[in-house]
Amino acid sequence: MSIPARLKAFGISKALDYLDRDPDANLPRLMEWLDKYAGERLSPPYQALFHQAMTDPDNNWHQLIRSMYTDIDNRILKKIFENFIIHGHLLDWPAKKEDGQLSQDQAPWSVIIDPSFPCAMDCTGCGASIFGVRPSMEFDSLDEELEARKARGCHLFIFSGGNSLARQEEIIALCNKHTDCVFAVFTPPASITPSLCEDLLRVRNLFPAIQVDVDPADAQRASLLLREHKLPFGVACRCTADNADRVATEEYYDRIIDSGAKFCWFFTCPAYGGPAAPTREQLLDLHRRVQAFRKTKPLLTLDFWDGPSPSAAPQGGF
């Protein structure tokens, strides 16, 4: 880490220490840090957005940030901020987006990793089933690919492709080696176990997204276990023609928020095989609801049509 980066990391650490003592009183101090280190890189609309999120208790983003300090282990919070802001250059995203540096022709801001083919789960409609002849990527190959992407400035990676946590030991080892990265993993709830929670507390940079449509009852168990360990997590919901009118509703959002999840990813891409994909009209309506609730609900939501910034869909993969 360079000296300027170390100074910024030290500033983040001090700001987070203040927040840990009294989040309600000290959230504005984090805004002071942002103004000091990134004010010139943030356009006025983004500055206004950050100021409101840090200072207005009625703002939904303020409520989301506040909930992180009551629900998540402080050591993990520091790692999240360090990896996103320092290593992932999060504060540069608005300027890069305006300059066209986050387009498909530039280095991706996030990359999907499919390490576990073939997948033995055989879930209906999952595209992983069509890649049965593709060999699994071993640890050394995955490690090499991660190093190559990091060299281009990417520090956010998403494990997908069936059940990546079937290879829990290797996934945790990758997270443990690449401590300057943020990892997310889409996983069925059955993979959330006490031993996994202990590993997540140790590495502090891997965040599960529970596939709630796989087994809703077990998803509730998994959410409770993660919450008991003060671990950040989200949910992943595959949208179909059958459920498109029921998801992304206010009732659905409130249920997800009450579970302790901090983000929700709506998979609006057509599935391979059945069940039937949503119609265009259903997708448009769902997308409008997602956009509306981003302004009112303390939950980070993404879909493959749009995202908060700079785009919801990851821009690379291997």
- pLDDT, one tens digit per residue, over 134-167 is 556 788 989 999 999 888 878 889 988 678 898 8
CB within 8 A of 258, min separation 6: which ones?
A: none
- Give the model's pLDDT for residue 316: 46
Residue 214, helix vs strand vs coil? coil
The pTM score is 0.82
> Which region, left, alpha or beta, applies to residue 162 given φ > 0 means left and ψ of -120 to 50 means alpha?
left
pLDDT at residue 308 is higher than 50: no
CA-based max dimension of the chain: 56
Q: Residue 178, Cβ neighbours under 10 Å: how many?
A: 22
Chain mean pLDDT for the chain = 79
Greater model confidence, 132 or 215: 215
Residue 123, helix vs strand vs coil? coil
Instruction: Tell me the average pLDDT across 57-65.
Output: 92
| Alpha helices by DSSP H, 23-73 | 23-38, 44-55, 60-71
- Give the model's pLDDT for residue 97: 57
| CA distances for 128 relative to 116, 186, 242, 258, angstroms | 9, 13, 21, 31
Among 121, 98, 207, 216, which residue's Cα sits nearest to residue 156?
A: 207
Greater model confidence, 310 or 267: 267
Q: Residue 19, Cβ neighbours under 10 Å: how many?
A: 22
CA–CA gap between residue 298 and residue 293 (Å, rounded): 9
